[in-house]
């Protein structure tokens, strides 16, 4: 909204007035996608909102903003400060149930250790899904951006955007990229379910281990589809946690990972999503769908690396999520034991430990 005069705002103001007239209890004004607003527009909005608040003090007006547009909430909070029935709501401060866990700093060791293990598989898998040098790429829900740096080195994209909603992870990503002199990765703060990126921009869009974390994967997929060019591909990875395995102590390990799946489900996250990838891509409108699975194991390089992944899982899943769910100490002890047994299986000279992952992609039709 960048009008030259108040007159250019008359249509918008009329729509708002009509909505206000239609309700005596509560009205929501959604400005989540207003990325630009000049002072002429702001004054027009302020006039109509303040006079409506004064005219009907019992009606609540909720202005719904987004933290992605940094100026938005502070600007409208100046209005709300004067009117008790005018409220500013930042929709993405608590917008999906797992957010507090995955956006916390304590989640970073999980992401760091996981990518180290998965990359040795994915660098060979990705070309089978259409990734090659010189493409425009977006890594959506990029976490700490380590996958983006690996892509940058190996596949030399002409443009690489990496978006996430975790400020802590993005801070980490920017620091690492600076240390490695990778200044051209465009790290972006945003909500993957409501991206401000334009349609049909990218040849290759990746979204790894994240559809399973967000409570509305269908909406994320719709956005991945939207920003992908016709003929381009969207690549996703997801897990099936209850199929993590190990020997010895297979029973204890199996029990714990079945509990992991239930624990995530309690917070509306589906870490059993891997085998559902084909259906999800199909329902989202993709064609030429490819699906493959791979198993990260303790035989992939140094077994200590896999043990680090498992210990990072134990810290967050047993140390935070189970506690938040209110699980009793006996449950948490048994839950932790399965992770310890998995570590033992990974480090044991005759042991075997595995973590299965599904990699899938679909083409956006022309
Ligand atoms: C399990 S992590 C995976 C991160 C990274 N792709 C990786 O594999 O290391 C899930 C990531 O999704 C991000 N995320 C979840 N929902 C999101 C949303 N709606 N918008 C942006 N980021 C989101 C979280 O902040 C977190 O960094």
Does residue 246 sit in the same domain as residue 340? Answer: yes
Measured from the Cα of 114, ligand 1's closest atom is 9
Domain annotation covers residue 265: yes
Domain annotation covers residue 357: yes
Q: Supply the mean pLDDT for the chain.
A: 95
Percent of the chain with pLDDT over 90: 93
Domain annotation covers residue 229: yes
- Which of 141, 227, 313, when mutated, tests ligand 1's pocket best, judged by the most ligand atoms within 8 Å of its CB? 141
pLDDT tens across 351-364, in order?
Answer: 999 999 999 999 99
Whose alpha carbon is nearest atom 9 of ligand 1? 111
pTM: 0.94
Q: Is the pLDDT of residue 22 over 90?
A: no
pLDDT tens across 294-348, in order?
Answer: 999 999 989 999 999 999 999 999 999 999 999 999 999 999 999 999 999 999 9
Does residue 230 sit in the same domain as residue 313? Answer: yes
Does residue 136 sit in the same domain as residue 215? Answer: yes
Chain Cα centroid distance, residue 176 = 20
pLDDT band at 179 (very low <50, low <70, confident <90, very high): confident
118 lines ligand 1 (CB under 6 A): no
Check residue 126 and give its pLDDT: 98
Q: In angstroms, what is the span from residue 103 Cα to ligand 1's centroid?
A: 8
Domain annotation covers residue 32: yes
269 lines ligand 1 (CB under 6 A): no
Domain annotation covers residue 1: no
Which structural domain range is residue 333 located in?
A: 99-363
Does residue 341 sit in the same domain as residue 212? Answer: yes
Does residue 45 sit in the same domain as residue 122? Answer: no
Does residue 82 sit in the same domain as residue 184? Answer: no
pLDDT band at 235 (very low <50, low <70, confident <90, very high): very high
210 lines ligand 1 (CB under 6 A): yes
pLDDT tens across 23-63, in order?
Answer: 889 999 999 989 999 999 999 999 999 999 999 999 999 99
CB 199 within 8 A of CB 364: no
Does residue 159 sit in the same domain as residue 108? Answer: yes
Does residue 71 sit in the same domain as residue 107? Answer: no
Does residue 31 sit in the same domain as residue 136? Answer: no
Task: Give the end of a domain, one of 35, 61, 93.
Answer: 93
Q: In angstroms, what is the span from residue 58 Cα to ligand 1's centroid?
A: 40
Task: Give the end of a domain, one of 93, 128, 161.
Answer: 93
Does residue 335 sit in the same domain as residue 231? Answer: yes
pLDDT tens across 130-140, in order?
Answer: 999 999 999 99
Check residue 346 and give its pLDDT: 98
Domain annotation covers residue 201: yes
Q: Where residue 270 sits, what CATH number does that domain have?
A: 3.40.50.150
3-state secondary structure the chain: CCCCCHHHHHHHHHHHHHHHHCCCCEEEEECCCCCCCCHHHHHHHHHHHHHHHHHCCCCEEEEEECCCCCCHHHHHHHHHCCCCCEEEEEHHHCCCCCHHHHCCHHHHHHHHHHHHHHHHHHHHHHHHCCCCCCCEEEEECCCCCHHHHHHHHHHCCCEEEEEECCHHHHHHHHHHHHHCCCCCEEEEECCCCCCCCCCCCEEEEEEECCCCCCCCHHHHHHHHHHHEEEEEEEEEEEECHHHCEEECCHHHHHHHHHHHHHHHHHCCCCCCCHHHHHHHHHHCCCEEEEEEEEEEECCCCCHHHHHHHHHHHHHHHHHHHHHHHCCCHHHHHHHHHHHHHHHHHHHCCCCEEEEEEEEEEEECCC
Domain annotation covers residue 211: yes
Check residue 302 and give its pLDDT: 94
pLDDT band at 82 (very low <50, low <70, confident <90, very high): confident
Rounded to an integer, the average pLDDT of 150-174 is 96
Q: Which residue has the tokens 């995530």?
A: 264
Check residue 24 and give its pLDDT: 80
Domain annotation covers residue 174: yes
Q: Is the pLDDT of residue 285 over 90?
A: yes
pLDDT tens across 180-228, in order?
Answer: 888 899 999 999 999 999 999 999 999 999 999 999 999 999 999 999 9
Task: Give the end of a domain, one of 39, 73, 93.
Answer: 93
Chain Cα centroid distance, residue 255 = 28
* Number of structural domains in the chain: 2
Does residue 111 sit in the same domain as residue 87? Answer: no
Q: In angstroms, what is the span from residue 197 Cα to ligand 1's centroid?
A: 17
Chain Cα centroid distance, residue 92 = 12
Does residue 79 sit in the same domain as residue 112? Answer: no
pLDDT tens across 182-192, in order?
Answer: 889 999 999 99
Whose alpha carbon is nearest atom 26 of ligand 1? 143
Distance from C-alpha of 57 to C-alpha of 49, rounded to nearest angstrom: 12
Rounded to an integer, the average pLDDT of 277-288 is 98
């Amino acid at each position: 909204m960048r009008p030259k005069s108040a007159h250019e705002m008359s249509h918008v103001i009329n729509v708002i007035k009509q909505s206000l007239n239609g309700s005596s209890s509560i009205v929501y004004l959604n400005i989540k996608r207003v990325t630009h607003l000049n002072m002429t527009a702001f004054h027009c909005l302020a006039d109509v909102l303040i006079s409506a608040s004064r005219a009907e003090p019992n009606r609540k007006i909720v202005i719904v903003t987004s933290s992605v547009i940094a100026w938005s909430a502070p600007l409208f909070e100046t209005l709300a400060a004067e009117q008790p029935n005018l409220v500013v709501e930042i929709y993405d401060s608590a917008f999906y149930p797992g957010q507090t866990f995955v956006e916390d700093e304590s989640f970073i060791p999980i992401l760091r250790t996981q990518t180290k293990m998965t990359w040795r598989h994915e660098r060979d898998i990705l070309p089978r899904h259409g990734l090659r040098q010189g493409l425009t790429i977006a890594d959506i829900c990029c976490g700490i951006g380590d996958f983006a740096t690996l892509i940058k080195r190996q596949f030399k994209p002409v443009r690489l955007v990496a978006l996430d909603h975790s400020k802590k992870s993005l801070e980490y990503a920017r620091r690492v990229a600076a240390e490695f002199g990778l200044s051209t990765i465009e790290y972006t703060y945003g909500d993957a379910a409501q991206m401000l990126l334009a349609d049909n921009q990218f040849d290759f869009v990746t979204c790894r281990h994240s559809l399973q974390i967000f409570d509305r994967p269908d909406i994320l997929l719709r956005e991945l589809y939207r920003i992908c060019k016709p003929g381009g591909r969207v690549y996703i990875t997801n897990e099936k946690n209850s199929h993590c395995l190990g020997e010895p102590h297979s029973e204890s390990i199996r029990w714990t990972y079945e509990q992991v799946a239930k624990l995530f489900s309690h917070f509306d996250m589906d870490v059993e999503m891997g085998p559902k990838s084909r259906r999800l891509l199909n329902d989202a409108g993709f064609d030429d769908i490819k699906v493959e699975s791979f198993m990260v194991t303790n035989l992939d390089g140094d077994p200590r690396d896999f043990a680090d992944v498992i210990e990072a899982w134990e810290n967050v899943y047993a140390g935070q999520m189970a506690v938040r769910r209110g699980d009793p100490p006996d449950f948490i002890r048994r839950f932790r034991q399965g992770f310890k047994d998995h570590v033992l299986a990974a480090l044991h000279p005759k042991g075997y430990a595995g973590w299965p992952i599904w990699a899938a992609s679909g083409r956006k039709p022309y």
